[in-house]
Amino acid sequence: MQATAGRGNAYRLRELAERFYAESGFVPAWFEGTAPRKQALQALALLQGAASHGLDPADYDAARLAERLRGAGGTRGAAPAEAASIDVALTLSLFRWLSDLHLGRASPRALRVLIDLPQERLDLVKAVREAIAADRVPELAAMAAPRLRSYDRLREALARYRRLAAEHAADPLPAVRKLEPGMPYAGLAALHRLLVALGDLPASAPLPSGYEGELVDAVRRFQARHGLEADGVIGRKSFEQLDVPLAQRVRQIELALERLRWLPPLRSEKAVVINIPEFRLRALEVRDGAAAVRLGMNIIVGRALVTQTPIFIGSMRHIEFSPYWNVPASIARKEIIPKLRRDPAYLAREEMEFVGAGGVTTEVGEENLEALARGELRVRQRPGPRNALGGIKFVLPNDMDVYLHHTPSVRLFAQSRRDFSHGCIRVEAPVELAKFVLAGQQEWNEERILAAMAAGTPSTVRLARPLPVVVFYTTALVEDDGRVLFLPDIYGHDRVLERALRER
């Protein structure tokens, strides 16, 4: 067993163990003489139950420790040296389990996830020592695990999908190229059983003679839960999702639990949370540590192959109404300059202009295009109906120049897969989001927000309090109504995390 935790060695476990024993004068923690105490068996039970949190008991030597404790619990007890060895081994395993449960096993920064360790972390030595003294060792799990309803729901889903994986492991669906309502299908019984097991079809629903009725409705519910167009037609993408082994769904949930362990506690009264694979934004109110969704909307994120939206936690500090779109230099070089060389009228048509040390110009010539390529000029789009940012920009300063904004291309929000942007996040309902963000700043009612968006003149309003914005990535989550969502791994982050955990 390694002696350091995976997340940047945030806890140096051997050093913690030395401190743990030094503070008690090197008295064994888990043994009374040569016999294990009750608390030792309780600690072992936590390690053996690691799988309920999506962790692997083998990482904590649970089976070997159980064998050694059984031997020590016999009539003769353990030899003093063996008792001491077991005591230290159990302490190290428990510390490692608590560290993994509290902060996660993988380092987010190593996976290009810009989420730092929380400033305040659980003092493992103090927590374990006090739990032993107060006979509250089983409560260590609740102390270390994320205090999020989403985490608890995922644990419940994990237990359920493990049962389903065991029960339906050998029940494959016959392949189909395209199944539309009303068509015959040889796999009706298998499809019926699967959808009943997953909760998309009532158990009382009769087995139809063809693909029709309640079975089609159940497929629509399945499609909606899996990020697909809910049209009831089983095409290639829908069949692929129906055919995913349930053991793979179990692993998706385990990876989702790992990611939730990376998040710091929410300390503010409000927050905005974005889940990239779901293409969804939720505005939360936080009361007594519990978050409630007050607003939800569709979003558009960065393209999977070239301009992925980064994962990070930002702080929204102000809103710009009727903003200029300052075109990033990379977009200007790769997209704007080629377009202008083919069609110089593009600049005027898109209400764009060049800006440099000499001021503003709309003259399209090779000299200005070369200056733009060198970075001596930049290009911006004036406020107005064609502006790529729409009428509003939600600013959360960061090194990646990522922000939230509206868009004139509203038709794209109706797509089931919405990775179309250059990396920024387009929001479907900007007025509602602005009302949520500016709530409490009473002068900013809906009427004034709409007027500022349509003004055509840039203006900025600073938030009374910075608002946390969590740009997150998870392909499995549980809704408030209990529906379990499994989403496409559009950026391949599940594969990267899986590999990091395996190599650990």
The Cα-based distances of 436 to 54, 123, 346, 390, 403 in angstroms read 35, 37, 37, 18, 17
User: Side-chain half-sphere of 325: how many Cα atoms within 13 Å?
Assistant: 25
Q: What values do phi and psi take at 304, rounded to 5?
A: -65, -40
Crossing angle (nearest 10°) for helices 62-72 and 80-103:
150
Question: Residue 320 forms beta bridges with which residues?
Answer: 393, 460
**Torsion region of 135: left, alpha or beta (phi above 0 gives left; psi -120 to 50 gives alpha):** left
Contact (CB, 8 A) for 107 and 2: no
Coil/strand/helix, residue 103: helix
CA angle at 482 for the pair 101 and 488, rounded to the nearest 5°:
75
Q: Which of 141, 136, 123 is nearest to 50 (CA)?
A: 141
Rounded CA gap, 38 and 44, in Å? 10
Q: What values do phi and psi take at 94, rounded to 5?
A: -65, -40
Q: Exposed/middle/buried for 281, CB within 10 Å: 0-12, 13-18, 19+? A: buried
Contact (CB, 8 A) for 15 and 21: no
160 is written with which tokens?
């359920």
Provide, for the chain, the percentages of residues in helix, strand and coil under a 3-state DSSP scheme, each rounded to the nearest 5: 40, 20, 40
Coil/strand/helix, residue 461: strand
Residues designated as active site: 405, 424
Start-to-end CA span in the chain (Å): 11
